[in-house]
Chains A and B, each alone.
Chain A
Amino acid sequence: MIEAKHLSKSYGGKPVVEGVSLRVEKGKMTSFIGPNGAGKSTVLSMISRLLAQDSGEVLIEGKEIGQWKSNELARKISILKQSNHINVRLTVRELVSFGRFPYSQGKLTAEDWKHVDEAIRYMDMQDMQGKYLDQLSGGQNQRAFIAMVIAQNTEYILLDEPLNNLDMKHSVQIMKVLRRLVDELGKTVVLVIHDINFASCYSDHIVALKEGKVVREGSVDEMITTEALKQIYEMDIAIQSINGNRICVYFT
């Protein structure tokens, strides 16, 4: 379990996150939603040690995040940020193999390569594993990075807007893979996501942030209601039930 207690962070005197406390349950998919500037990415960065909090604490399985050895933590928790347009000429396979770095420090064993192969298969990228990242589309790049995280084989997988710049087909594909990671491999997935309908269709738990605070959290049934969304987004959003999923109609 990841536990955040009274997290705060400000930039240049301006508070971005104020007193956020939350719990991420094991084996569930948790989505952070909320308007722009709500502090979702900042919270995600703090609970994954990319960013130091000004006050408050983060506990990973009961142990304060700073107490973990960075290498041990890298086998426990992985984080993928939205800014992945890294201008680096690596092949997909090379990138995925870096996911094994916390285990092998670069000297990959047969066991490591097995994980690399599995991750590539999981993301269905066998036919393009020898290609350089800069030869691939944005969606394929995103899939390659997720494959790396899968090879990293951590219990917790944190993703900051993994659907950014993806078309519908690839968005659905990625959400399905993330769901499979939870259902088949028992992983804990946390993501920051803008499309509330994806959050509604795939998550187990939704945390809503607004102006640096958690305004509401709960199951999909509790969160995807006209009343809750009004509080979060200040919009009147009708909810339709389609094939058992709660779909938000917010376009008009």
Chain B
Amino acid sequence: MKKRYLLIALVLLSFVSLFLGVKNIHPLDLFRLSEEQLQVMLVSRIPRLVSILVAGAALSISGLIMQQLSRNKFVSPTTAGTDDAARLGILVALMLFTSASLIEKMIVAFVFALAGTFVFMKILDRVKYKDAIFIPLVGLMFGNVIGSLTTFFAYKNNLIQNITAWLQGDFSGILSGRYEMIYISIPLVIVAYLFANKFTIAGMGEEFAINLGLKHKQIVNIGLVIVALVSVVVMLTVGLIPFLGLVVPNLVTIYAGDNLKKSLPLTAMLGALFVLFCDILGRILIYPYEVPIGLTVGVIGSGLFLYLLIRRKAHDA
């Protein structure tokens, strides 16, 4: 997996993405766009492309960080309760402030997501039986417990529809003026890259980290903050994109190993590429309608996830 090929594919698909849609814009029109076409580009197509790239890269990286810090290949925001806790947070925000602004929702959801991830990491510390498959199962159960709480309170407050809206990732609603929050992910990705070496060391265990003079807890906490914030920001702008943080980092580390300095940029690029590909697929399949990204990534991602599971079984045997 060469960086160069990933980059070329990204540029090509980005191009396709910009010129794909109900409103027909031909690449050759690029330098003489009509007023209307320009509007479509600026208001819809470009914001959509940007949020696809950012969401894909940032979510994949948060998965990578979680896997490194928990020392488990099957832990990700989807399988550690982060996403579920974030949704509960959004619900709480909706209940507390009847017409919560995006920022208010973000802050409350972030606090919940962080707390949820924290509790999961604490559970992880306590669990004696650290089987690779058992841990994410615990995470899924934990997430479902939170999820049922969310559903319960959503029912009582007549908010079920609002809540399910966050459940399914969808880029078709991305319009200029309603997606800019996703830019928060960009500095987070940069911070993640700056901390790549420290995450790698922290992933080798607390004693290993202390030996090298690293404050283990502090590094883990920084990692969890990045993960929670990215998950919340993407959920609020795009919605839930399941399996992304699980599949992409796993595919990368099979080839590039666990040195984050090396695997993190690759993960970001492959993540962006994967989401871009799934999005284009979703836009072509039932053209002029769309299959939401949560569904395409979910289907392809869970297929790949199964493959990883089976591959692992074969590897262990």
Which residues in A have some Cβ–Cβ distance to B below 8 Å? 48-50, 69-75, 78-81, 83, 86-91, 94, 98-99, 101-102, 105-106, 132, 152
Contacts and interface: CB of A to CB of B under 8 A. Distances in A.
B213 A94 contact: no
Nearest to B71: A87
B214 A70 contact: yes
Residue from B205, B211, B253, B259 whose CB has the most chain A CB atoms within 10 Å: B211
Contact of A88 (B197, B204, B207, B214): B204
A86 B208 contact: yes
A49 to B, nearest CB: 7
B42 interface: no
A75 B207 CA distance: 15
Contacts of B196: 106
Contacts of A71: 213
Contact of B207 (A79, A89, A99): A79
Interface string B198-236: 101101110110111111000000000000000000000
A106 B197 contact: yes
Contacts of A74: 211-214
Given A79-B207, A81-B207, A106-B198, A88 B258 contact: yes
Contacts of A49: 210
A71 to B, nearest CB: 4
A137 to B, nearest CB: 17
A81 B280 CA distance: 50
29 contacts: A48-B211, A50-B207, A50-B211, A69-B213, A70-B213, A71-B213, A74-B213, A75-B213, A78-B211, A79-B207, A79-B211, A80-B211, A88-B71, A88-B258, A89-B253, A89-B257, A90-B258, A91-B257, A94-B259, A98-B197, A98-B200, A98-B201, A98-B204, A101-B201, A101-B213, A101-B214, A102-B212, A105-B197, A106-B196
Contacts of A89: 253, 257-258
Nearest to B132: A87
A73 B71 contact: no
Interface residues of B, number: 22
A94 B256 CA distance: 12
Q: Give the 3 A-B residue pairs with the shortest CB-CB distance, closest first.
A: A74-B213, A106-B197, A71-B213
Interface of B: 71, 196-198, 200-201, 203-205, 207-208, 210-215, 253, 257-259, 261
Given A50-B211, A71-B213, A74-B213, 11 more contacts: A69-B213, A86-B204, A86-B205, A87-B71, A88-B204, A90-B257, A98-B201, A101-B201, A102-B212, A106-B196, A106-B261
Given A70-B213, A106-B261, A101 B205 contact: no
Nearest to B254: A89
A219 B308 CA distance: 55
Contacts of A69: 213
A101 B212 contact: yes
A94 B258 CA distance: 10
Contacts of B205: 83, 86
B211 A132 contact: no
A2 B208 CA distance: 21
Contacts of A83: 205, 207
Nearest to B253: A89
Residue from B215, B253, B257 whose CB has the most chain A CB atoms within 10 Å: B257
B198 to A, nearest CB: 7
Residue from A81, A88, A106, A132 whose CB has the most chain B CB atoms within 10 Å: A88
A215 B190 CA distance: 55
Contacts of A73: 213
Contacts of B198: 106
A152 B213 CA distance: 11
Nearest to A100: B212
Contacts of A50: 207, 210-211
A170 to B, nearest CB: 21
Contact of A98 (B71, B207, B212, B215): B212
Contacts of A152: 211-212
A65 to B, nearest CB: 12
Contacts of A86: 71, 204-205, 208
Contacts of B212: 74, 98-99, 101-102, 152
Contacts of B259: 90-91, 94
B204 A70 contact: no
Contacts of A105: 197
A69 B213 CA distance: 8
B317 to A, nearest CB: 15
Contacts of A98: 197, 200-201, 204, 212
A106 B201 CA distance: 10
Nearest to B315: A134
Nearest to A160: B207
A98 B208 CA distance: 10
Given A89-B257, A94-B259, A132-B257, A70 B215 contact: yes
